[in-house]
Amino acid sequence: MTSQAETVELLVKKANFQPHVALAVAEAIDHSIRDSQFVTVPILDARLGELKAELKAMIEVSSERLSKEIVATKAELARWVLLAMLGSFAIATAAAEVSHAIHPH
């Protein structure tokens, strides 16, 4: 027995609908179901799988980009530390020379 026939039988026997009314209601239900876009579990699983793959690819790209930025930042930081050390050494040397010039031994 088809789904529509079962629906008509149910409406006639249990709800006491007239057969022509039960048939019209069953047809309306069929049309509504046919026109609806139900998301079934397999469809949802497929869409979630696609989303996971896209997110994984985006994360990998972001991770690679971040790694490159970290390396560049470390290199720049090392240059600044070296410049600060050289500057500190130059200032200390100049201060020592000035001190020796002011207070000769």
Question: Where do the domains of the chain lie?
Answer: 1-36
Query: Looking at residue 10, what is its pLDDT?
Result: 86
Whether 8 contacts 23, CB under 8 Å: yes
Tell me what pLDDT residue 1 has.
63
Q: Which amino acid is at 70?
A: I
In this prediction, residue 94 carries a pLDDT of 94
Question: Please, what are the averages of pLDDT over each run of 10 residues along the chain (105 residues)?
Answer: 81 89 89 79 92 97 97 97 96 93 83
The whole-model pTM stands at: 0.48
Position 81, amino acid: V
The predicted pLDDT at position 76 comes to 97
Q: What are the helix (H) ranges across 1-105?
A: 3-13, 19-35, 41-102
